[in-house]
Structure 1
Amino acid sequence: MSGPVKGRVEWFRDYQFIGRIEGDKCSVILGEGGISPMKLLLLSVAGCTAYDVVMILKKMREPIEGLEVEISGERSEEHPKVYRRVHLHYRIHGNVREEKAKRAIELSQDKYCSASAHMKLSGAEVTYSLEIIPGR
């Protein structure tokens, strides 16, 4: 088991906050003029699964040339307004076989992507669609 992840959010001005994770080189602006924490949560899910899918397809020796993951989420009306539905659309560039692409996505969603697992544990329905754009 790895050690704890540590971060800090600091009030910058008005309704803006700067968030940093210890040891990372980038910061994020939260609130007005920046990204909302709930939107950042969506991007975290998309980033987590994108990383997994590229890694898995490369291990499968599939000729992936690019990847885009579009994500959308619907939140409940009542507080704490958690995500009820999340949909990911994977756009894979390259001559990747569809069955291999689906397998990579399913492995990410069912086994590896911690961020998706958190969404599902909070009760969100997570779905996906796939588009393969042939390569050169």
Structure 2
Amino acid sequence: MKGKVRWIGDSKFEALTEEGGKILFGEKGISPMKTLLLSVAGCTAIDVVMILQKMREPLEDLEVEISGERREEHPKIYTKVHIHYKIYGNVNEEKAKRAIELSQEKYCSASAHLKLSGTEVTYSYEIIREKV
């Protein structure tokens, strides 16, 4: 994996991946620490969708909400992170729970990075049978 971050003026930075993906940091962009949280949410969302699809569950949509608490002193790492899964469709609750557990305990590398640094990662979920 390769990428680079380039200063583009004032307090703005552009992050580029070798595949052409871009993220804007700083002014009118996302902070690197918020990007870290969103990366965890994205990582586990991908896992859960793929696992539920392999289980042939009737998943219609998925939203992953994430929040974090950081310590006051530098480096201001996350001490607590909570992930909330909103699973849409007539999905079996045990299978949904298992998909989340597999993501959190085995597959999500981004979440594992936080846990290895001592961050307390918790999660909750809800199954919404009909999307409003």
Same structural fold, with TM-score higher than 0.5 when normalized by the shorter chain: yes
The match for 2:96 among 98, 101, 123 is 101
Q: Which residue of 2 aligns with 1:127?
A: 122
Gaps of 5+ in 1: none
Question: For the residues of structure 2 that align with 1:84 and 1:31, how far apart are their CA atoms?
Answer: 23
Q: What RMSD over aligned residues (CA atoms) do the two structures have, in Å?
A: 0.9
Whole-angstrom CA distance in 1 between matches of 2:74 and 2:28: 23
Deviations 1:111-135 (A, max 9, x none): 0000000010111000001110004
Identify the residue that residue 106 of structure 2 maps to in structure 1: 111
TM-score normalized by structure 2? 0.97
Partners in 1 of 2:5 and 2:15 — Cα distance?
4
Q: Secondary structure at the match of 1:71?
A: strand
- Matched residues, number: 131
- 1:33 CA displacement: 1.4
Q: CA deviation at 1:32?
A: 1.6
- Deviation of 1:26 after TM superposition, in Å, equals 2.5
1:97 and 1:135 map into 2 onto residues whose CA distance is: 14
Moved over 2 A (4+): none
Cα deviation 1:57-81 (Å, max 9, x = unaligned): 0000110000000000000111000
What secondary structure does 2:121 align onto?
strand
Amino acid at match of 1:105: I
Q: Percent identity?
A: 70
